[in-house]
Homo-oligomer: A and B are copies of this chain.
Amino acid sequence: MFQINENYQKLPGSYLFSTIAKKVAAFTEANPGKDIIRLGIGDVTQPLAPAVIEAMHKAVDEMGKAETFHGYAPDLGYDFLRDAIVENDYKSRGCDISADEIFVSDGAKSDSANIQEIFGPKNRIAVCDPVYPVYVDSNVMSGRTGVYDARSETWSDVIYMPCTMENGFVPEFPKETPDMIYLCLPNNPTGTTITKAQLQEWVDYANKSGAVIIYDGAYEAYISESDVAHSIYECEGAKTCAIELKSFSKNAGFTGVRLGYAVVPKDLKCGDVSLHGMWTRRHGTKFNGAPYIVQRAGEATYSPQGKAQLKEQVAYYMKNASMIKSGLQEAGYTVFGGVNAPYIWLKTPDKMTSWEFFDYLLHNANVVGTPGSGFGPSGEGYFRLTAFGSYENTLGALERIRKL
Protein backbone atom coordinates (compact mmCIF):
# COMPACT_ATOMS: atom_id res chain seq x y z
CA MET A 1 0.00 0.00 0.00
CA PHE A 2 1.34 3.43 -0.94
CA GLN A 3 2.15 5.89 1.84
CA ILE A 4 1.70 9.65 1.87
CA ASN A 5 4.14 12.39 2.80
CA GLU A 6 3.28 12.53 6.50
CA ASN A 7 4.70 16.01 6.87
CA TYR A 8 1.56 17.42 5.23
CA GLN A 9 -0.45 16.18 8.20
CA LYS A 10 1.57 18.42 10.48
CA LEU A 11 0.47 21.62 8.74
CA PRO A 12 -2.01 23.49 10.93
CA GLY A 13 -5.10 24.89 9.20
CA SER A 14 -4.96 25.95 5.61
CA TYR A 15 -2.83 28.48 3.78
CA LEU A 16 -3.45 31.93 5.34
CA PHE A 17 -4.99 33.54 2.28
CA SER A 18 -7.28 30.59 1.65
CA THR A 19 -8.63 31.00 5.19
CA ILE A 20 -9.24 34.69 4.64
CA ALA A 21 -11.00 34.01 1.34
CA LYS A 22 -13.31 31.52 3.07
CA LYS A 23 -14.16 33.95 5.90
CA VAL A 24 -14.93 36.72 3.43
CA ALA A 25 -17.05 34.38 1.30
CA ALA A 26 -19.07 33.36 4.37
CA PHE A 27 -19.60 37.00 5.34
CA THR A 28 -20.65 37.96 1.80
CA GLU A 29 -23.14 35.10 1.67
CA ALA A 30 -24.67 36.17 4.99
CA ASN A 31 -24.64 39.87 4.01
CA PRO A 32 -25.34 39.98 0.29
CA GLY A 33 -25.81 43.76 0.03
CA LYS A 34 -22.53 44.80 1.64
CA ASP A 35 -19.82 46.49 -0.40
CA ILE A 36 -16.57 44.88 0.72
CA ILE A 37 -13.25 46.69 0.24
CA ARG A 38 -10.31 44.29 0.05
CA LEU A 39 -6.99 45.45 1.38
CA GLY A 40 -6.05 41.94 2.43
CA ILE A 41 -4.15 39.77 0.00
CA GLY A 42 -1.30 41.69 -1.60
CA ASP A 43 -2.83 41.68 -5.06
CA VAL A 44 -2.45 44.62 -7.39
CA THR A 45 -5.38 46.39 -9.04
CA GLN A 46 -3.85 48.67 -11.67
CA PRO A 47 -3.90 47.32 -15.24
CA LEU A 48 -0.71 46.24 -16.98
CA ALA A 49 1.35 49.11 -18.38
CA PRO A 50 0.75 50.00 -22.07
CA ALA A 51 4.34 49.01 -22.99
CA VAL A 52 3.71 45.55 -21.52
CA ILE A 53 0.37 45.17 -23.29
CA GLU A 54 1.97 46.15 -26.58
CA ALA A 55 4.77 43.61 -26.13
CA MET A 56 2.28 40.86 -25.30
CA HIS A 57 0.15 41.54 -28.37
CA LYS A 58 3.26 41.41 -30.50
CA ALA A 59 4.34 38.13 -28.92
CA VAL A 60 0.87 36.63 -29.37
CA ASP A 61 1.04 37.52 -33.07
CA GLU A 62 4.43 35.84 -33.32
CA MET A 63 2.95 32.67 -31.82
CA GLY A 64 0.33 32.67 -34.57
CA LYS A 65 2.79 32.36 -37.46
CA ALA A 66 5.00 29.37 -38.21
CA GLU A 67 8.07 31.55 -38.98
CA THR A 68 7.95 33.31 -35.61
CA PHE A 69 6.33 30.60 -33.45
CA HIS A 70 8.13 29.73 -30.21
CA GLY A 71 7.94 26.25 -28.72
CA TYR A 72 9.74 25.16 -25.56
CA ALA A 73 11.63 28.08 -24.04
CA PRO A 74 15.19 27.55 -22.86
CA ASP A 75 14.86 25.94 -19.39
CA LEU A 76 16.45 28.87 -17.63
CA GLY A 77 14.89 31.71 -19.61
CA TYR A 78 15.37 33.55 -22.89
CA ASP A 79 18.60 35.50 -23.26
CA PHE A 80 16.70 38.68 -24.15
CA LEU A 81 15.12 38.66 -20.68
CA ARG A 82 18.14 37.44 -18.73
CA ASP A 83 20.27 40.13 -20.38
CA ALA A 84 17.72 42.85 -19.59
CA ILE A 85 17.57 41.72 -15.97
CA VAL A 86 21.35 41.77 -15.58
CA GLU A 87 21.69 45.15 -17.25
CA ASN A 88 18.92 46.89 -15.31
CA ASP A 89 18.73 45.16 -11.95
CA TYR A 90 22.41 44.41 -11.40
CA LYS A 91 24.99 46.13 -13.60
CA SER A 92 23.27 49.49 -13.11
CA ARG A 93 23.76 49.03 -9.37
CA GLY A 94 27.33 47.88 -9.62
CA CYS A 95 26.52 44.23 -8.91
CA ASP A 96 28.64 41.74 -10.80
CA ILE A 97 25.99 39.17 -11.75
CA SER A 98 26.07 37.47 -15.15
CA ALA A 99 23.12 36.46 -17.31
CA ASP A 100 23.72 32.75 -16.77
CA GLU A 101 23.27 33.25 -13.03
CA ILE A 102 19.65 34.34 -13.65
CA PHE A 103 16.97 31.61 -13.56
CA VAL A 104 13.66 32.83 -14.98
CA SER A 105 10.60 31.25 -13.35
CA ASP A 106 6.84 31.50 -13.09
CA GLY A 107 7.09 33.65 -10.00
CA ALA A 108 8.74 34.22 -6.66
CA LYS A 109 6.13 32.16 -4.80
CA SER A 110 7.20 29.04 -6.67
CA ASP A 111 10.88 29.88 -6.27
CA SER A 112 10.64 30.64 -2.57
CA ALA A 113 8.77 27.37 -2.00
CA ASN A 114 10.99 25.26 -4.26
CA ILE A 115 14.44 26.56 -3.35
CA GLN A 116 14.59 24.45 -0.17
CA GLU A 117 14.58 21.28 -2.31
CA ILE A 118 18.26 21.59 -3.14
CA PHE A 119 19.23 21.72 0.54
CA GLY A 120 19.75 18.92 3.02
CA PRO A 121 16.94 17.61 5.20
CA LYS A 122 18.73 18.40 8.46
CA ASN A 123 19.38 22.10 7.81
CA ARG A 124 18.00 24.46 10.45
CA ILE A 125 16.06 27.33 8.96
CA ALA A 126 15.74 30.82 10.45
CA VAL A 127 12.92 33.17 9.53
CA CYS A 128 11.93 36.67 10.45
CA ASP A 129 8.80 36.59 12.58
CA PRO A 130 6.37 37.72 11.17
CA VAL A 131 6.99 36.86 7.53
CA TYR A 132 5.44 35.51 4.30
CA PRO A 133 4.18 32.02 5.31
CA VAL A 134 5.54 30.11 2.29
CA TYR A 135 9.07 29.82 3.68
CA VAL A 136 8.03 27.88 6.74
CA ASP A 137 5.21 25.93 5.10
CA SER A 138 7.43 24.65 2.27
CA ASN A 139 9.96 23.49 4.86
CA VAL A 140 7.23 21.80 6.89
CA MET A 141 6.26 19.84 3.78
CA SER A 142 9.81 18.55 3.44
CA GLY A 143 10.16 17.67 7.10
CA ARG A 144 12.70 20.27 8.18
CA THR A 145 10.72 21.98 10.93
CA GLY A 146 10.25 19.49 13.76
CA VAL A 147 7.15 19.45 15.94
CA TYR A 148 4.42 22.07 15.96
CA ASP A 149 3.32 23.58 19.25
CA ALA A 150 -0.23 24.82 18.82
CA ARG A 151 -0.14 27.04 21.90
CA SER A 152 2.86 29.11 20.83
CA GLU A 153 2.22 28.52 17.13
CA THR A 154 5.87 27.68 16.59
CA TRP A 155 7.86 24.76 15.18
CA SER A 156 10.50 23.17 17.38
CA ASP A 157 13.22 23.20 14.72
CA VAL A 158 12.59 26.65 13.24
CA ILE A 159 14.65 29.56 14.51
CA TYR A 160 12.39 32.58 14.81
CA MET A 161 13.83 36.08 14.65
CA PRO A 162 11.16 38.34 16.13
CA CYS A 163 10.69 41.68 14.38
CA THR A 164 8.51 43.90 16.52
CA MET A 165 8.04 47.49 17.61
CA GLU A 166 10.57 46.86 20.37
CA ASN A 167 13.52 46.18 18.04
CA GLY A 168 12.34 48.49 15.28
CA PHE A 169 11.49 45.43 13.13
CA VAL A 170 15.20 44.68 12.60
CA PRO A 171 15.98 40.96 12.95
CA GLU A 172 18.74 40.12 15.42
CA PHE A 173 21.35 37.39 14.97
CA PRO A 174 19.83 34.28 16.54
CA LYS A 175 21.35 32.49 19.54
CA GLU A 176 21.27 29.15 17.72
CA THR A 177 23.20 28.82 14.47
CA PRO A 178 20.97 28.56 11.41
CA ASP A 179 21.93 26.90 8.10
CA MET A 180 19.39 28.67 5.91
CA ILE A 181 18.28 32.22 6.66
CA TYR A 182 15.21 33.61 4.92
CA LEU A 183 15.19 37.39 4.65
CA CYS A 184 12.31 39.21 2.96
CA LEU A 185 13.36 42.83 2.65
CA PRO A 186 11.53 45.17 2.44
CA ASN A 187 9.53 42.87 4.65
CA ASN A 188 6.16 41.36 3.97
CA PRO A 189 4.06 41.92 6.11
CA THR A 190 5.59 44.68 8.25
CA GLY A 191 6.46 46.98 5.35
CA THR A 192 9.70 47.80 7.17
CA THR A 193 13.26 47.18 6.07
CA ILE A 194 16.89 47.49 7.15
CA THR A 195 19.74 49.63 5.90
CA LYS A 196 22.43 48.47 3.53
CA ALA A 197 24.90 48.57 6.43
CA GLN A 198 22.65 46.28 8.47
CA LEU A 199 22.28 43.92 5.50
CA GLN A 200 26.07 43.82 5.14
CA GLU A 201 26.22 42.54 8.73
CA TRP A 202 23.89 39.69 7.75
CA VAL A 203 26.08 38.83 4.77
CA ASP A 204 29.16 38.81 6.98
CA TYR A 205 27.34 36.70 9.56
CA ALA A 206 26.28 34.16 6.92
CA ASN A 207 29.74 33.89 5.39
CA LYS A 208 31.30 33.47 8.80
CA SER A 209 28.82 30.90 10.07
CA GLY A 210 28.45 28.92 6.81
CA ALA A 211 24.79 29.74 6.35
CA VAL A 212 23.02 30.49 3.09
CA ILE A 213 20.71 33.50 2.85
CA ILE A 214 17.53 33.18 0.78
CA TYR A 215 16.90 36.82 0.03
CA ASP A 216 13.38 37.64 -1.15
CA GLY A 217 13.44 41.04 -2.81
CA ALA A 218 9.86 41.04 -4.13
CA TYR A 219 9.19 44.59 -2.90
CA GLU A 220 12.44 46.17 -4.06
CA ALA A 221 10.72 48.60 -6.45
CA TYR A 222 9.09 50.34 -3.48
CA ILE A 223 12.33 51.33 -1.77
CA SER A 224 12.46 55.10 -1.41
CA GLU A 225 15.27 55.65 1.08
CA SER A 226 18.79 55.94 -0.23
CA ASP A 227 20.54 53.89 2.46
CA VAL A 228 18.57 50.72 1.62
CA ALA A 229 20.08 48.11 -0.74
CA HIS A 230 18.09 47.18 -3.85
CA SER A 231 19.90 43.86 -4.15
CA ILE A 232 21.79 41.79 -1.60
CA TYR A 233 24.65 41.67 -4.12
CA GLU A 234 25.32 45.33 -3.32
CA CYS A 235 26.87 43.89 -0.14
CA GLU A 236 30.41 42.63 -0.29
CA GLY A 237 30.70 38.85 -0.16
CA ALA A 238 27.04 38.14 -0.92
CA LYS A 239 27.88 35.98 -3.92
CA THR A 240 29.34 33.29 -1.69
CA CYS A 241 26.35 33.12 0.66
CA ALA A 242 23.15 34.41 -0.94
CA ILE A 243 20.42 33.43 -3.38
CA GLU A 244 18.18 36.32 -4.41
CA LEU A 245 14.56 35.87 -5.47
CA LYS A 246 12.76 38.53 -7.46
CA SER A 247 9.23 38.98 -8.70
CA PHE A 248 7.52 41.00 -11.41
CA SER A 249 4.26 40.87 -9.46
CA LYS A 250 4.57 44.01 -7.42
CA ASN A 251 6.70 46.35 -9.53
CA ALA A 252 4.82 45.55 -12.76
CA GLY A 253 1.49 44.13 -11.63
CA PHE A 254 2.25 40.62 -12.90
CA THR A 255 0.33 38.75 -10.16
CA GLY A 256 -1.89 37.22 -12.86
CA VAL A 257 0.88 37.08 -15.47
CA ARG A 258 3.37 35.00 -13.46
CA LEU A 259 7.03 35.87 -13.83
CA GLY A 260 9.95 35.95 -11.44
CA TYR A 261 13.57 34.98 -11.27
CA ALA A 262 16.17 33.58 -8.92
CA VAL A 263 19.83 34.54 -8.85
CA VAL A 264 22.11 31.67 -7.90
CA PRO A 265 25.72 32.90 -8.15
CA LYS A 266 28.33 30.47 -9.39
CA ASP A 267 30.47 31.32 -6.37
CA LEU A 268 27.87 29.86 -4.02
CA LYS A 269 29.09 26.42 -3.07
CA CYS A 270 28.82 23.73 -0.45
CA GLY A 271 32.29 22.20 -0.47
CA ASP A 272 32.92 21.47 -4.14
CA VAL A 273 29.29 21.40 -5.11
CA SER A 274 27.91 24.38 -7.00
CA LEU A 275 24.37 25.34 -6.05
CA HIS A 276 24.14 26.94 -9.47
CA GLY A 277 24.55 23.51 -11.02
CA MET A 278 21.95 22.01 -8.70
CA TRP A 279 19.35 24.67 -9.44
CA THR A 280 20.09 24.27 -13.16
CA ARG A 281 19.36 20.58 -12.83
CA ARG A 282 16.24 21.23 -10.78
CA HIS A 283 14.87 23.65 -13.39
CA GLY A 284 15.77 21.27 -16.22
CA THR A 285 13.94 18.36 -14.60
CA LYS A 286 10.91 19.95 -12.93
CA PHE A 287 10.12 23.09 -14.90
CA ASN A 288 9.70 23.85 -18.59
CA GLY A 289 10.32 27.58 -18.80
CA ALA A 290 8.06 30.60 -18.42
CA PRO A 291 5.78 31.30 -21.41
CA TYR A 292 7.39 33.15 -24.33
CA ILE A 293 4.65 35.79 -24.22
CA VAL A 294 5.24 36.36 -20.51
CA GLN A 295 9.00 36.64 -20.94
CA ARG A 296 8.45 39.26 -23.67
CA ALA A 297 6.15 41.09 -21.24
CA GLY A 298 8.96 40.97 -18.68
CA GLU A 299 11.43 42.38 -21.18
CA ALA A 300 9.07 45.28 -21.86
CA THR A 301 9.19 46.37 -18.21
CA TYR A 302 12.82 47.36 -18.87
CA SER A 303 12.18 49.50 -21.98
CA PRO A 304 12.32 53.28 -21.46
CA GLN A 305 8.52 53.52 -21.84
CA GLY A 306 7.98 50.49 -19.61
CA LYS A 307 10.20 51.88 -16.88
CA ALA A 308 8.45 55.26 -16.95
CA GLN A 309 5.00 53.66 -16.82
CA LEU A 310 5.93 51.35 -13.94
CA LYS A 311 7.42 54.22 -12.00
CA GLU A 312 4.00 55.86 -12.17
CA GLN A 313 2.30 52.66 -11.00
CA VAL A 314 4.61 52.36 -8.02
CA ALA A 315 4.03 56.03 -7.20
CA TYR A 316 0.27 55.45 -7.40
CA TYR A 317 0.40 52.67 -4.82
CA MET A 318 2.83 54.55 -2.61
CA LYS A 319 0.45 57.51 -2.57
CA ASN A 320 -2.13 55.07 -1.18
CA ALA A 321 0.37 53.84 1.38
CA SER A 322 1.14 57.33 2.52
CA MET A 323 -2.57 58.20 2.73
CA ILE A 324 -3.38 55.10 4.83
CA LYS A 325 -0.44 55.69 7.11
CA SER A 326 -1.15 59.34 7.86
CA GLY A 327 -4.91 58.77 8.00
CA LEU A 328 -4.58 55.98 10.56
CA GLN A 329 -2.07 57.94 12.59
CA GLU A 330 -4.49 60.86 12.75
CA ALA A 331 -7.15 58.43 13.91
CA GLY A 332 -4.89 57.38 16.79
CA TYR A 333 -3.48 54.13 15.43
CA THR A 334 0.16 53.12 15.84
CA VAL A 335 1.38 52.48 12.31
CA PHE A 336 4.57 51.22 10.64
CA GLY A 337 5.80 50.54 7.11
CA GLY A 338 4.55 52.29 4.00
CA VAL A 339 7.83 54.09 3.25
CA ASN A 340 9.89 51.45 1.45
CA ALA A 341 7.05 48.99 0.88
CA PRO A 342 3.39 49.00 -0.12
CA TYR A 343 2.30 47.54 3.24
CA ILE A 344 0.98 49.27 6.33
CA TRP A 345 1.49 47.42 9.60
CA LEU A 346 -0.62 48.61 12.50
CA LYS A 347 -0.99 47.75 16.16
CA THR A 348 -4.49 46.46 16.76
CA PRO A 349 -6.42 48.79 19.07
CA ASP A 350 -7.81 47.85 22.49
CA LYS A 351 -5.59 44.80 22.83
CA MET A 352 -7.61 42.93 20.24
CA THR A 353 -5.95 39.85 18.77
CA SER A 354 -5.17 39.98 15.07
CA TRP A 355 -8.12 37.75 14.13
CA GLU A 356 -10.47 39.68 16.46
CA PHE A 357 -9.51 42.87 14.65
CA PHE A 358 -9.96 41.08 11.30
CA ASP A 359 -13.53 40.15 12.23
CA TYR A 360 -14.18 43.59 13.74
CA LEU A 361 -13.05 45.34 10.58
CA LEU A 362 -14.90 42.94 8.27
CA HIS A 363 -18.17 43.23 10.18
CA ASN A 364 -18.13 46.92 11.10
CA ALA A 365 -16.28 48.55 8.21
CA ASN A 366 -16.62 45.79 5.58
CA VAL A 367 -12.90 46.12 5.03
CA VAL A 368 -10.68 43.05 4.58
CA GLY A 369 -7.13 43.14 5.88
CA THR A 370 -4.70 40.44 6.93
CA PRO A 371 -4.27 39.34 10.56
CA GLY A 372 -0.67 39.78 11.64
CA SER A 373 -0.62 36.48 13.52
CA GLY A 374 -1.08 34.69 10.21
CA PHE A 375 2.52 35.64 9.42
CA GLY A 376 4.04 34.25 12.60
CA PRO A 377 3.60 34.40 16.37
CA SER A 378 5.24 37.82 16.74
CA GLY A 379 2.66 39.18 14.31
CA GLU A 380 0.00 38.72 17.01
CA GLY A 381 -1.54 42.05 17.91
CA TYR A 382 -0.69 43.52 14.51
CA PHE A 383 -2.61 43.85 11.27
CA ARG A 384 -1.59 44.37 7.64
CA LEU A 385 -3.26 46.63 5.11
CA THR A 386 -2.02 46.80 1.56
CA ALA A 387 -1.70 49.87 -0.62
CA PHE A 388 -2.49 47.84 -3.74
CA GLY A 389 -6.16 48.87 -3.89
CA SER A 390 -7.44 51.60 -6.18
CA TYR A 391 -7.14 55.15 -4.82
CA GLU A 392 -10.92 55.38 -4.49
CA ASN A 393 -11.23 52.10 -2.58
CA THR A 394 -8.31 52.93 -0.34
CA LEU A 395 -9.82 56.31 0.47
CA GLY A 396 -13.19 54.65 1.08
CA ALA A 397 -11.69 52.04 3.40
CA LEU A 398 -9.82 54.68 5.32
CA GLU A 399 -12.97 56.76 5.84
CA ARG A 400 -14.84 53.70 7.12
CA ILE A 401 -12.04 52.81 9.55
CA ARG A 402 -11.83 56.37 10.82
CA LYS A 403 -15.56 56.36 11.54
CA LEU A 404 -15.30 53.29 13.78
Contact = CB atoms under 8 A, between A and B. Distances in A.
A287 B255 contact: no
A387 interface: no
A66 B46 contact: yes
A106 interface: yes
Interface stretch (A83-91, A118-126, A163-171, A369-377): A118-126
Contact of A293 (B8, B56, B270, B287): B56
Interface in A120-146: 120-123, 134, 137-138, 141
Contacts of A26: none
Contacts of A107: 288
A57 B59 CA distance: 10
A18 interface: yes
Nearest to A112: B286
A110 B290 CA distance: 12
B47 A258 contact: no
B60 A291 contact: no
A347 interface: no
A11 B281 contact: yes
A209 B1 CA distance: 7
Nearest to A295: B256
B47 A110 contact: no
Interface in A265-281: 270, 273, 275, 278, 281
A285 interface: yes
A349 interface: no
Interface stretch (A71-79, A222-230, A320-328): A71-79
Contact of A285 (B2, B138, B284): B138
Contact of A3 (B47, B122, B209, B288): B122
A287 B64 contact: no
A117 interface: yes
A174 interface: no
A159 B53 CA distance: 49
A235 interface: no
A185 to B, nearest CB: 20
A64 B46 contact: no
Interface stretch (A37-45, A334-342, A359-367, A395-403): A37-45
A273 B4 contact: yes
Contact of A120 (B2, B64, B285, B287): B2
A189 interface: no
Contacts of A158: none
A390 B270 CA distance: 46
A92 interface: no
A175 interface: no
B281 A14 contact: yes
Interface of A: 1-6, 8-9, 11, 14-15, 17-18, 41, 43-48, 50, 53, 56-57, 60-61, 63-66, 69-73, 75, 106-107, 109-110, 113-114, 117-123, 134, 137-138, 141, 179-180, 209-212, 253, 255-258, 270, 273, 275, 278, 281-282, 284-294, 390
22 contacts: A1-B209, A1-B211, A2-B179, A3-B120, A4-B119, A4-B278, A5-B120, A6-B120, A15-B284, A41-B72, A46-B66, A47-B65, A48-B64, A70-B256, A106-B288, A109-B288, A110-B286, A110-B287, A110-B288, A113-B287, A134-B286, A258-B289
Please list the 5 inter-chain residue pairs (A to B) with the smallest Cβ-Cβ separation, ordered nearest first: A3-B120, A1-B210, A113-B286, A2-B179, A43-B71
